[in-house]
Amino acid sequence: MQSETQTENSISFDEFKSQVLEDYKIAVTSRECSLLGRREVLTGKAKFGIFGDGKEVPQLAMAKAFKNGDFRSGYYRDQTFMMAINELTPEQFFAGLYADTNIENEPMSGGRQMGGHFMTHSLDEKGEWKNLMEQKNSSADISPTAGQMPRLLGLAQASKIYRNVDGIQAEKFSDNGNEVAWGTIGNASTSEGHFWETINAAGVLQVPMVMNVWDDEYGISVHAKHQTTKENISEILKGFQRDRDNEGFEILVVEGWNYPALVDAYEKASQIARKEHCPVLIHVIELTQPQGHSTSGSHERYKSEERLKWEKEHDCNLKFREWMIENDFATSEQLDELEKEIKKEIRGAKHKAWTAYLKPALKKQKELVKLLENAAQASSNANFINAIKKEVAGNKEPFKKDLVSAARKTLRFLIGSESTEKNDILNWLNDFSEQAYDDYASHLYIKEDTQVEVLPTYEDNAEEVDARIILRDNFDAIFNKYPQTLIFGEDSGEIGDVNQGLEGLQKKYGKFRVSDTGIREATILGQGIGMSMRGLRPIAEIQYLDYVMYCLQGMSDDLATVHYRTKGKQKAPLIVRTRGHRLEGIWHSGSQMGGMLNLLRGMYVLVPRNMTKAAGFYNNLLELDTPAMVIECLNGYRLKEKLPTNLGELKTPIGVTETVKEGNDITLVSYGSTLRIVEEVARELNEVDIDAEVIDVQSLLPFDINHDIVKSVEKTNRLLVIDEDVPGGASAYILQKILDEQNAYRFLDSKPQTLTAKEHRPAYGTDGDYFSKPSAEDIFEKIYAIMHESNPSKYPKLR
C-alpha cells in the first residue's frame, strides 16, 4: 500500500514504474476483495455486499492527489481509495463484511454499518481530537443516496473559515485552509436534490471541494437516460463552469480507465481547489460495474449483450494492465504471477477475518456448553436441556444470537429452580448482555456532564427588555469568547435574523462568522456537520422548526448517528438553532415534536420556555460535544424579560426539569410556549382551591435524568401532560418516560392524562390557534375534571 505519492515529473522512470506497479497491485487487491466478498454473501457468511469493483483506477488517481489534512465524504464504493491511503487492509475489508464488533479488527464502524462504509478515526481513546493534519481523513459514510453531499460542503467550508478568520487555534485542523474536501458519488445519485443543492452552494461559497462522479451509466438497474437530462451530468452542469468574469466550478471530464489521464486530472483539480478555493467537478466517464449493483441481483438481467461485451473490454483494471504492458512497466507473465499471489493473499485475509470474527462466539459457546451440561445434570428436565446443548455444541460457526437464544430458552426448563447451575447461566447471560451493549448500543451520546447550572444574576433594579436583546447580547458574548464559533442561516447576517436576535453582530464579527445563506436547509445543516467535524463550533440556523423538515434526513441519518456509527471515533458537535411552537397557521405552528423525538436520538432536543433559558443552553452546549437542536419560542422575542448581568456565562442544565410553581393537588408537565399558558392557568386554579405543581421539562432529549417528576407525582398523586404536538406525539413520549422509566404509576390515584393539540395542523389566525391547540380554558377544564372525578363534592361538575 502506498502513502505519500509523487508525480511522474518529479521522480525517475524507475521510481515511477515502482509506483505504477504498486498502484496496479492495489487495484487487483481491491478487485479480488470484491469478487471474494460477493461469494461470502452468497454463502450466507455476510448479509449484504456492495463493492467497488470497476472504480479502482480513478480512486488510485484520487489517492495520489489526496494530502494529509484533506477529508473525504464519499459513498459505498470507495474501498480502493481507502486501501490506497493505507486506511483499509483486506482483512479489515472482510471484517466489515462480517460485521465484526471489535473496532480494532473492523475500524470502519465496529460492525455497525455494512461493508463499503468507511471512515478514519478523528478522536483518540479519550475522545479528544487527534491531529487531523498528520493523517488523511474520511468522514463516516452513510447509505442514503447523496446523503454525503451536504456534509461535504461543510468539510470544504472549514478550510475557508480557517483561511479567513483570525484567532482560531487551528494546529490540529488546518494549514491556512489548504485542505481539500473530496466528494464521491455515483452518476445516478446526482439526480438527488442534495447533490444539486450542494453543487449550487459550493459555487456560491467558493470552497475547496473536488466532486467526483463515478459514471457507469446505471443507477442500480436503471439507465442514465432515465436519470439525467442528456444522460450526462457534466454536460448539463456547463452553466456552472467558471470564466474570466464569473466564479463557478472548474469542470473536468476524464475516462475512468485512462490511468495517466486520471493522474493528470486529479493533480490539476487538487491544485485549483487548494490554491484558489474554487470547487472542481470531475466527471469520470466510461466506468463499469462488473458484478452489478450489489449482491441483491445480477446485472445480466438489465444490461444488453452489447453493453456487457463493452464493459468486459473497458474494465478499468484490464485497460490499466494493457497500458502497463504496452509501456514496458511489466510483462504479461509478471502480472499473471502478481495476480496469482494477490489471490492467495486475499483468501488468507478472508480466512483470518472470519477466524477473528468467530473467536469470541466460539469462546462463549464453549462456556455455554459446560453450563448447559451442568444444568442438565441438576434438572428434572435434563432431556430438554441436553437437546439444546447438543444443538449448541454442534454449531461449528455460531452467531452470538444463537448462543444467547439457547441460554434463554434453557431458563424456561429451570423455572422454579434456585440452583447454582441456573445462577451460573443467568450470570453468563448478564455478562453477555453487558458486552452486547458495548457492541451494539454504546456511544449514542457522548459521556459528558450536562447538568452544570449557572443561574442568571441581576442588578437590584434589573431592566426589563425585549427577550431578543438577551439572545443578541449572549451571542455577542459567545462570539467574543470563542473565535471558533460561527453562525449562519437565512437572514442571519445582514439583518441579524428575522427576530433580530443577531442584530449588529455581522458588522462586529464579519461575514465569515455571522453570515447569510441561500434558502437551502439541507446544506445549511451540512455546512454545520462538516465544519464541526473539523474542529469548529458552528451554529446552523434553520429559520423555523417547520423548515427543519427540509434537513431532517441529514439530522437523523447523519448528524444524530455520527458518534454512534463510528463507535466514538468521530464527533460533530453542531448546534442547530431554530424557532417554533405556538404561532398561527399550518406552516408556522412549529410543534412537530413527536417526529423529532423519534428521529433524532443521538442529539439533544432542548425546548426553553424563554430566551434567558435559551441563552443558558447555548452557553452550556459550547462546552459539550453532543450535537443539539435548540427550539426558541417563536412568540417570545418581544416579551419582556429581566436582563441578566452574566450573559455568556449563565448555563441552563440539560436533561434537568424545573419546578416553576410548587403545589400539592396535581402535577402539570409542559414546555416551551405552552408552559406560559399552564403557569397562567395554575394561578387561576387557586381561585377554585386547586393547588397545581407546574414542571417545565426544558429538555426532551435527554429527559428528566434525575427523575424529579416522579417525586412530584408521589406528592400530588395526579398527573397531566400538556403539549401542543398532535395526540400520541411528544405527550406520549413524556408519559412513557414518567410511567415506564420512573414508575410513577405507583403513586397515582387518578388516571394519568394528556392534553394535546388536535390531530390536524393549526388553522390560521388567532382563532385558529385557540381552537387547534390547548387553550387556557382547555387546560383549566381538563384539570378541574380530573379533580371533580377525585372529589365531586368539593369540585362540582363544571360542564
**Opening angle at CA 484, ends 479 and 490, nearest 5:** 65
pLDDT reading at 740 higher than 80: yes
Phi, psi of 694 (to 5 degrees): -115, 125
Helices (H), 686-764: 708-716, 730-736
pLDDT confidence bin for 323, thresholds 50/70/90: very high
Q: Taking each helix axis as running N to C, give the angle between helix 316-326 and helix 259-276, from 0 to 180 degrees, rounded to the nearest 10.
A: 110
Report how far residue 280's alpha carbon sits from residue 269's, in angstroms, rounded to the nearest whole number. Answer: 6
pLDDT at 622 (0 to 100): 98
Q: Residue 224's pLDDT is what? A: 87
Whether the link from the prior residue into 702 is cis, omega within 30° of 0, is: yes
Strands 280-285 and 209-214: parallel
For residues 335 and 21, give the distance between their C-alpha atoms in angstroms, rounded to a whole number.
Answer: 9
C-alpha cell at 682: 395554575
pLDDT value, residue 9: 54
User: Chain-wide mean pLDDT for the chain?
Assistant: 95
- Give the helix/strand (H/E) hosting 221: none
* Spatial contact of 463 and 641, defined as CB atoms under 8 Å apart: no
Burial grade of 382 (CB within 10 A; 0-12, 13-18, 19 or more): middle
pLDDT in tens, 394-415: 999 999 999 999 999 999 999 9
Is 561's pLDDT higher than 50? yes
The letter for the amino acid at 527 is: Q
Query: How would you classify the pairing of strands 753-755 and 640-642?
Result: unpaired
Predicted pLDDT at 765: 87
Q: What is the chain's percent helix, strand, coil content, to nearest 5?
A: 50, 10, 40
CA distance 175 to 69: 8
The yes-or-no verdict on residue 4 having pLDDT over 70 is no
In this predicted structure, the answer to whether residue 692 has a pLDDT above a threshold of 90 is yes
**Cα angle 51, 124, 605; round to 5:** 80
Render pLDDT for 512-549 as a digit per residue (tens, 0 to 9): 999 999 999 999 999 999 999 999 999 999 999 999 99
pLDDT at 155 over 70: yes
The answer to whether 60 touches 127, Cβ cutoff 8 Å, is no
Span 209-255, pLDDT tens digits: 999 999 999 888 889 899 999 999 999 999 999 999 999 999 999 99
Is 552's pLDDT higher than 50?
yes
Question: What per-residue confidence (pLDDT) applies to 3?
Answer: 39
Per-residue pLDDT at 636: 95
Question: In this model, does residue 295 exceed pLDDT 80?
Answer: no
Average pLDDT over residues 29-53: 92
What pLDDT, on a 0 to 100 scale, did the predictor assign at position 2?
41
How far apart (Å, rounded) are the C-alpha atoms in residues 796 and 799? 9
